[in-house]
């Protein structure tokens, strides 16, 4: 068993070593914010780690994180948050200065997504406000000013039948296959309905 004097001697030695290290290298910090890449909203509780080291931090209610006493060097920071794909950035830590960086995280795609356009088949002009529905489901979308539509991450993998409608045009249908975490494109070209004369 160590004597009282030996214990105190070891404590003093450890404190001196820490003091020498801090004097030699100074305080270096990494600070930043973890944000949603689509909305720029801060992500609370995201974990940020420096790859290859035990240094890590967690974001606060403003999405901010702080790391102190980081040795000089170039590092890869990786952020992890539930519901998001992990994201990494490379930072350089220099002596006696604070390194600031932001990490943008993309929402994780768990299901398939469909995008496409609905255009006039003869003029290729966009049909604004056309309806696109997925048969035998509750999912649908309306086209924007470019004729484009998006049906977001709500579809499980499988085969679906899409139908596009627009007043004064003949409807059109297509069969698409949805895969996990992939974007499927489906474009429609609608023909104007024939004018019936008597």
Sign (positive or negative) of CA dihedral 85, 35, 53, 72: positive
CATH architecture type of domain 25-105: Sandwich (2.60)
Token pair of 137 as six digits: 């489901």
Stretch(es) of the chain classified as CATH 2.60.40.1120: 112-190
Please report, in tens digits, the pLDDT of each residue of the chain (198 residues total).
545 555 455 554 554 554 444 444 556 799 999 999 988 999 999 999 999 999 999 999 999 999 998 999 999 999 999 888 899 999 999 887 899 999 999 887 667 789 999 999 999 999 999 999 999 888 899 999 999 999 876 667 889 999 999 999 999 999 998 887 788 999 999 999 987 655
Q: Is-above-0.75 flag for pTM?
A: no
Contacts of 102 (CB under 8 A, 6+ apart): 32, 33, 34, 35, 89
| Domain range 112-190, its CATH number among 2.60.40.1120, 1.10.10.10, 3.40.50.720, 3.40.50.970 | 2.60.40.1120
Q: How confident is the model at residue 133, as a pLDDT? A: 94
Sign (positive or negative) of CA dihedral 49, 52, 54, 55: negative
């Amino acid at each position: 068993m160590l004597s009282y004097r030996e214990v105190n001697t070891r404590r003093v030695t450890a404190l001196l070593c820490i003091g020498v290290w801090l004097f030699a290298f100074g305080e270096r910090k990494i600070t930043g914010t973890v944000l949603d890449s689509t909305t720029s909203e801060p992500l609370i509780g995201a974990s940020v780690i420096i790859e290859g080291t035990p240094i890590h931090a967690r974001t606060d209610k403003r999405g901010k994180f702080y790391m102190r006493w980081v040795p000089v060097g170039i590092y890869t920071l990786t952020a992890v948050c539930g519901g998001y794909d992990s994201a990494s950035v490379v930072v350089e830590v220099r002596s006696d200065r604070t390194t600031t960086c932001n990490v943008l995280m993309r929402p994780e795609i768990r299901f398939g997504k469909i995008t496409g356009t609905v255009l006039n088949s003869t003029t290729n002009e966009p049909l604004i406000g056309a309806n696109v529905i997925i048969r035998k489901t509750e999912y649908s979308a309306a086209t924007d000013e470019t004729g484009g539509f998006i049906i977001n991450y709500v579809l499980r993998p499988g085969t679906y039948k899409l139908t596009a409608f627009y007043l004064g045009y003949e409807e059109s249908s297509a069969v698409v296959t949805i895969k996990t975490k992939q974007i499927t494109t489906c474009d429609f070209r609608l023909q104007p309905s024939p004018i019936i004369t008597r």
